[in-house]
């Protein structure tokens, strides 16, 4: 099945076409096709996953950095992918015996070769003696099946699939969440005016995401990426009759588009840098082997980072995601929590070799990716505190968690980032669907006005939402705990202490704002109107399924099991020599402590009414802070007033000034001069001399016109007769006189 | 040779008469039927010129498709079927003069230029295979352009003629 | 066979077609006359192709046939539209171009 995984996106594309053309005529308005297609896709993805797990791990990859003769072997292995595998296996034989003193040597060798990225990683290997062996552990060889799409001279572009652990995980997650959302939507979107189109767009969206995650080259990746952008636009603006919604759709589209320019530029740079190839594996190899000059690589990676910032809603382009909550809730769950927004994270993970070399991720300290992620974690979490719309809380939470993933990749904790993506998809999908279930009952998203005390009305939703909250907050032993712990561990061990602190603060705030959200929604007095009641099974069953996964998925990579690492790590990651770390009880305890602290603080504040209430009314500084948050750091205003207006305003004004001062002055001067000359001309020449001639010409023209207007009949055939007659006369004259 | 010339003469006379009838008959359906004679005659001329493939296409496209289209056009515009005297406009004398002049100039030029040039007598039949090879190798770009043109015409015809 | 016999035949057909285009009132008949003109051109193309012993003449004749098909399609659509708007296809009444 792995070799035929292209069937999975194909199923969704076919489903899109079928729904679009026949959906309206079907008894269930097309959702039966969408459901069947996504069920098939999910089943096939599961088969893929099982096959992948059962695949023998016999592909050995030596980290570029740990090679004794770093530079030479590296460039060779980059050039010949086939040879490199065999070479690696050979090397592994005596790699073990060399491990003792080899690691130290590696440090020197790499340093001598001037391989900047290599040195610290190799030194790490030296510090953790046992890990040298661990890194050489064989992985499953990726399944690649592709055909030539386009060939012209030296340029050959393939189209196909590249199935490795990362792709398989993404396939599984995307189809699962999409399935849950499809089921949920049949009830939630019931009686919607564009029900059929909604399901068609869901299918196309899923297809885009699946195309992207299975892509073997960057061009295909771009294709899927843009498909998602389009579908996101259609789905956010699903209720476009309201101006807000269509505005939000446009904003999302344009903001992500700003980043997408970066993707286009980055892909183009890498195409030429990697030697006329779009192939992702080859690009990674070339980048890690140092075949690409540092400057070019940095430019390419920086451009790609722009795309990540746009798509994954990182600071400072995160503003579109909360607005995107204008779309229907299932869309928010599918697109803006679990799948599409992680496309940026996926891009970094996929082209990890490029980012690793360009930003010197192995080096520790600080780098752009980690920085962007870290800032996003904090600022989005702060914003989540002041929201009263439940979906907006979750939206900012999503932004913050995406920041976590990006930060994880930025600090060299590759597996941790992907693992967090994996677990986050479950609990964030769950939380969004839960929020949808609540709002379905109270017909509002406002926690402060219309919710409260919902736990008595909606027990199932309440219980599942609690599981999601605890998982997101990172409470032992739910999914979020394990993935967050790994990120913190990675940040601490790889020399990114600053981001360890950021991660801990983020964990604290995440726990606190989620507790606030739960309090406002499910506890206290019911503040709304009407009689809410539990949602139908089509809504609760996906919730339960996702709740089970949110609770259990983290165990997959719990210490001692660590299956997730074994399944997902790919060649690029091993080539880069990403370090592995033993589970550290200390980090886990501190992380858990911060999460627990967040919950406790929030609990004391809301339930026990302790702490500085009404702070904003008493303290000017607090008020200013609150205003800043309420206005979302004035970023939106910066974009519209600052950037758009500064382009629009001054140019218009400058044009106006030029118009008034310069052109008018010239015109006036000319005018005055002309008037004087005119007066003279009028008196002397015009009245007496010219008028006579002009009147004569006018009269002649009038006479001639009244004769010729007979010919102007408006009848095409008469014109044609004149045309042919003229041609004949001219042709005849030509023949006669030559 | 004689046979060929004889056949050409018969065909040419038939085509000439039919063509004149196309533009002079007062019965619109008859005009269409005379047009069939002219088009079939053109196909016969192609065969005389050893262009068999083009002759077959001429029959298929013109007689088979375009003419049917004309009959539909006649039917849909509810043109008077049967004899009427209202098919010509009032500038037919001007038209006659122009076309006679045109014929005169053309005939004069042709007689002057190709007075007694003969076609190669041993010209081999140009096979359809050669035509196809030529279309898809040398003239592949015009071919593609033609396909786009046909598509545009298709869409255009639908857009123009639909009721809305 | 002389080349000229074909060319003269074509010239004759062409002139007759021009007459038809100029003198006919009915839109469908004008289109038929245009077909006569196009066929005259085709005869020329094929005749010269045979004269120079090349298939290019035939190829272009085929292209012209394709274009003619497109032209008839669009032309008849226009005639239908005129008929629908005016309940007549008398071209001498279509004088919107009168200034």
Residue A559 CB neighbour total at 10 angstroms: 13
Taking an 8 Å cut-off on Cβ atoms, the answer to whether B98 and A721 are in contact is: yes
Q: How many domains does chain C have?
A: 1
A731 reaches B (C-beta below 8 A): yes
Which chain A residue has the Cα nearest residue B109? A735
* pLDDT (0 to 100) of residue A529: 74
Sign of CA dihedral A589, A595, A601, A607: negative
Closest CB to B91 among A721, A731, A732 = A721
Task: Write out chain B residues lying below 8 Å of C81, CB-based.
Answer: 160-161
- Which residues in chain C show pLDDT less than 70? 97-99
Q: Which one is predicted more confidently, A628 or B42?
A: B42
CB contact (8 A) between residue A721 and residue B94: yes
pTM exceeds 0.80, yes or no: no
Q: Domain for residue C8, yes or no? A: yes
Contacts of B160 in chain C (CB under 8 A): 74, 77-78, 80-81
Nearest alpha-carbon partner for A203 in A22, A18, A27: A18
The CATH number of whichever domain residue C8 belongs to comes to 1.10.287.3510
Question: In whole angstroms, what is the distance from residue A480 CA to residue A18 CA?
Answer: 38
pLDDT at residue B1, as a whole number: 65
**Residue C59, Cα to own-chain centre: how many angstroms?**
18
| Residue C84 in domain | yes
The interface predicted TM-score (ipTM) is: 0.90
Confidence class for position B124, pLDDT limits 50, 70, 90: low
Which of A717, A718, A731 lies closest to B105 in CB terms? Answer: A731
User: What's the Cα-to-Cα distance from A660 to each of A82, A172, A550, A657, B85, rounded to whole Å?
Assistant: 71, 65, 67, 5, 70
C63 within a domain of the structure (yes/no): yes
The pLDDT assigned to A139 comes to 77
Query: Taking Cα atoms as reference points, which of A497, A365, A488, A496 lies closest to residue A419?
Result: A488
DSSP character string of A152-170: ETTEEEEEEEEE-HHHHHH
- The alpha carbon dihedral of A123, A129, A130, A133 has a sign of positive
CB contacts of A724 in chain B (<8 Å) are 98-99, 102
Q: Name residue, tokens 């759709």.
A: A249
Residue C52: domain span = 3-93
B95 in contact with A at a CB cutoff of 8 Å? yes
Q: Which helix (H) or strand (E) holds A149?
A: strand A143-152
Q: Cβ of B94 under 8 Å from any chain C Cβ?
A: yes
Query: Can you give the pLDDT at residue B36?
Result: 93
Chain mean pLDDT for chain B = 87
> Across the interface, which of A713, A716, A724 has its CB nearest the CB of C18?
A724
- Which of A711, A714, A725, A727 to substitute to test the interface with B, most B CBs within 10 Å? A725
What 3-state class would DSSP assign to C2?
A: strand
Q: Which two tokens stand for residue C66?
A: 């394709």
Distance from CA of B107 to the nearest CA of A (A): 11
CB contact under 8 A, B61 and C78: no
At A138, list the tokens: 């064989």
Residues of A in contact with C22 (CB under 8 A): 717, 720-721, 724
Residue C52 lies in a domain: yes
In a domain, C98, yes or no: no
| HSE-up (13 A, CA, CB side) for residue A228 | 30
Q: Residue C25 falls within a domain, yes or no? A: yes
Q: Are A171 and A568 in contact (CB under 8 A)?
A: no
Mean pLDDT by 10 residues, chain A (738 residues): 83 87 78 86 88 80 53 40 42 42 42 41 40 57 80 76 86 88 83 83 89 88 88 85 83 84 88 83 84 85 88 82 82 79 88 85 80 88 82 87 88 85 87 85 76 80 86 81 84 82 87 85 78 80 85 77 77 75 78 83 76 63 69 69 65 73 80 82 71 78 79 79 88 82
Write the DSSP symbol of residue A143. Answer: E
**Contact A715/C at CB under 8 A:** yes
Scanning B13-52 for CB atoms below 8 A from C yields 15-16, 19-20, 22-23, 28, 31-32, 35, 38-39, 42, 45-46, 48-51
Give dist(CA B123, CA B115) in Å, integer.
20
pLDDT band at B18 (very low <50, low <70, confident <90, very high): very high
Evaluate whether residue C72 is within a structural domain.
yes
Mutation target vs A (from B92, B98, B107; most A CBs, 10 A cutoff):
B98
Instruction: Give B58-115 pLDDT, tens digit per residue.
Output: 999 988 888 888 888 888 887 666 666 677 888 888 899 999 999 999 998 888 888 8
């Amino acid at each position: 099945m792995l070799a035929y995984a292209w069937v999975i996106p194909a199923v969704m594309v076919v489903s899109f076409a079928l729904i679009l053309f026949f959906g309206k005529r079907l008894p269930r308005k097309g959702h039966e096709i969408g459901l069947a297609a996504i069920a098939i896709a999910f089943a096939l993805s599961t088969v893929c996953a099982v096959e992948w797990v059962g695949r023998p791990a016999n592909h050995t990859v030596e980290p570029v950095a740990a090679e004794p003769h770093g530079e030479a072997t590296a460039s060779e292995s980059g050039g010949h992918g086939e040879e490199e595998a065999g070479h690696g296996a050979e090397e592994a034989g005596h790699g073990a015996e060399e491990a003792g003193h080899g690691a130290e040597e590696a440090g020197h060798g790499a340093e001598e070769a001037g391989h900047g990225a290599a040195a610290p990683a190799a030194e790490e290997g030296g510090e953790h003696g046992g890990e040298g062996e661990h890194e050489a552990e064989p992985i499953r060889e990726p399944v690649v099946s592709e055909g030539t799409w386009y060939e012209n001279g030296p340029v050959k572009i393939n189209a196909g699939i590249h199935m490795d652990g990362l792709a398989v995980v993404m396939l599984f997650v995307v189809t699962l969440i999409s399935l849950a959302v499809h089921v949920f939507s049949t009830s939630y979107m019931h009686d919607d005016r564009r029900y059929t189109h909604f399901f068609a767009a869901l299918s196309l969206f899923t297809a885009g995401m699946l195309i992207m995650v299975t892509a073997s080259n960057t061009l295909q990746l771009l294709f899927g990426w843009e498909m998602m952008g389009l579908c996101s636009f259609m789905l956010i603006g699903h209720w476009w009759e309201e101006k807000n919604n269509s505005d939000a759709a446009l904003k999302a589209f344009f903001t992500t588009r700003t980043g997408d320019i970066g993707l286009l530029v980055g892909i183009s740079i890498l195409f030429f840098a990697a030697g006329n190839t779009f192939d992702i594996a080859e690009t990674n190899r070339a980048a890690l082997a140092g075949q690409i000059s540092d400057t070019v690589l940095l430019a390419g990676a920086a451009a790609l980072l722009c795309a990540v910032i746009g798509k994954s809603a990182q600071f400072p382009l995160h503003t579109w995601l909360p607005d995107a909550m204008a779309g229907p809730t299932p869309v928010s769950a599918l697109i803006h929590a679990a799948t599409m927004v992680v496309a940026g994270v996926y891009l970094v993970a996929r082209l990890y070799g490029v980012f690793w070399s360009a930003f010197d991720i192995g080096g520790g300290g600080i780098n752009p990716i980690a920085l962007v992620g870290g800032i996003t974690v904090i600022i989005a979490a702060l914003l989540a505190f002041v929201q009263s719309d439940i979906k907006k809380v979750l939206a900012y939470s999503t932004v913050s968690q995406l920041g976590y993933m990006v930060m994880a990749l930025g600090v060299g904790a590759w597996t941790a980032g992907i693992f967090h993506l994996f677990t986050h998809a479950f609990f964030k999908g769950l939380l969004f669907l839960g929020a949808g279930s609540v709002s379905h009952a109270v017909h509002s998203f406002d926690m402060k006005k219309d919710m409260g005390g919902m736990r008595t009305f909606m027990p199932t939703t309440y219980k599942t939402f609690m599981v999601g909250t605890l998982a997101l907050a990172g409470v032992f032993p739910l999914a979020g705990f394990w993935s967050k712990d790994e990120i913190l561990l990675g940040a601490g061990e790889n020399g990114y202490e600053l981001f360890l602190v950021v991660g801990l603060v983020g964990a604290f705030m995440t726990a606190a704002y989620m507790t606030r959200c739960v309090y406002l929604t499910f506890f206290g007095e019911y503040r709304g109107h009407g009689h809410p009641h539990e949602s139908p099974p089509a809504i609760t069953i996906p919730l339960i399924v996702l709740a089970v996964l949110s609770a259990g998925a983290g165990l997959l990579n719990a210490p001692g099991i660590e299956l997730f690492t074994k399944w997902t790590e790919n060649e690029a990651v091993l080539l880069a020599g990403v370090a592995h770390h033993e589970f550290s009880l200390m980090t886990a305890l501190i992380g858990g402590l911060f999460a627990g602290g967040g919950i406790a603080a929030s609990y004391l504040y809301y339930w026990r009414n302790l702490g500085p209430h009404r702070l904003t009314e008493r303290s000017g500084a607090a008020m200013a802070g609150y205003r800043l948050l309420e206005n979302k750091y004035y970023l939106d205003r910066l974009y519209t007033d600052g950037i758009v207006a500064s382009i629009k305003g001054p140019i218009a004004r400058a044009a106006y000034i030029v118009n008034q001062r310069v052109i008018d002055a010239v015109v006036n001067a000319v005018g005055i001069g002309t008037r004087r000359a005119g007066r003279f001309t009028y008196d002397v020449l015009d009245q007496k001399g010219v008028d006579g001639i002009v009147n004569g010409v006018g009269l002649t023209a009038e006479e001639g016109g009244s004769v010729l207007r007979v010919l102007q009949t408006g009848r095409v055939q008469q014109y044609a007769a004149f045309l042919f007659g003229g041609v004949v006369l001219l042709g005849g004259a030509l023949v006669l006189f030559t | 040779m004689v046979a060929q010339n004889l056949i050409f003469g018969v065909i040419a006379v038939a085509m000439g008469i039919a063509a004149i009838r196309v533009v002079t008959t007062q019965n619109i359906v008859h005009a269409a039927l005379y047009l069939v004679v002219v088009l079939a005659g053109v196909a016969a001329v192609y065969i005389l010129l050893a262009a068999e493939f083009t002759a077959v296409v001429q029959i298929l496209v013109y007689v088979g498709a375009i003419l049917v289209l004309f009959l539909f056009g006649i039917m849909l515009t509810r043109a008077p079927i049967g004899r009427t005297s209202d098919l010509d406009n009032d500038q037919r004398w001007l038209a006659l003069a122009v076309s006679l002049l045109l014929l005169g100039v053309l005939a004069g030029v042709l007689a002057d230029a190709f007075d007694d040039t003969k076609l190669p007598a041993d010209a081999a039949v140009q096979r359809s295979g050669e035509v196809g090879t030529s279309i898809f190798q040398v003239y592949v770009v015009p071919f593609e352009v033609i396909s786009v043109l046909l598509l545009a015409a298709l869409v255009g015809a639908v857009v123009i003629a639909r009721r809305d | 066979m002389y080349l000229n016999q074909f060319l003269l035949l074509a010239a004759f057909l062409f002139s007759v077609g021009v007459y038809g285009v100029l003198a006919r009132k009915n839109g469908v008949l004008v289109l038929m006359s245009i077909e006569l003109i196009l066929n005259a051109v085709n005869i020329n193309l094929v005749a010269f192709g045979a004269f120079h012993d090349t298939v290019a003449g035939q190829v272009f004749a085929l292209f012209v046939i394709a274009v003619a098909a497109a032209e008839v399609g669009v032309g008849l659509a226009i005639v239908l539209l005129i008929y629908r708007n005016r309940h007549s296809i008398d071209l001498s009444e279509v004088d919107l171009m009168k200034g």
